[in-house]
Amino acid sequence: MRSYRLASVWGDKYAAEWTQSAFRKVGINYKESEKAKSEIYVDLLPALNSGAVSLLDNDRLVNQLVGLERRTTRGGRRIDTIDHAPGAHDDLANAVAGALVYAGRVGQRSHRTATPKVILGYAEAKRMQRQRQHTIPNPNRQQW
């Protein structure tokens, strides 16, 4: 992570203090996400459905995302959770969803109204680069 010049990371509350102390030992600040995994998945849906984000063409990622299940608890309060099926995994889906949800917040200020576009993957970045070459730049357009 140092080769990417990362000074801090976001993560869940997995393994309590062990995860934070492991990052701290190598000089990286570990920040706990204020959102639960289910909330992150819910926040990711509009970005995926609107095309604001593009995902890598990765079979493991796609399988984990489509394998997520919504469960509603019984009883007085209705609580929805989104999680992997028993015996399945969602580690990659969780990491990608968290990165995309939190990346949409980076650098946002109250006077900005546009949502930044997050692009993952070399092919998508090259497509966007070719598209920009064929468009006339607007000097009034806010750049991200």
Contact 82/70 with Cβ under 8 angstroms? yes
The first and second tokens of residue 21, run together, are 């102390």
pLDDT for the residue 33: 87
Q: Which long-range contacts (CB under 8 A, 24 or more apart) does 71-80 make?
A: 80/38
Q: What angle do helix axes 91-103 and 59-66 make, rounded to 10 degrees?
A: 90
Q: Are 132 and 143 in contact (CB under 8 A)?
A: no
Region for 16 from its dihedrals, namely left if φ exceeds 0, alpha if ψ lies in -120 to 50, beta otherwise: left
Taking only the tens of pLDDT, the chain with its 144 residues reads: 777 788 888 888 777 788 889 989 988 998 888 888 999 999 998 888 888 888 888 999 999 999 999 988 777 677 788 999 999 999 999 999 998 988 876 444 443 444 445 555 556 666 666 665 555 555 554 444
What is the per-residue pLDDT for 131? 64
- Indicate the residue type of 139: P
d(C-alpha 44, C-alpha 61), whole Å? 14
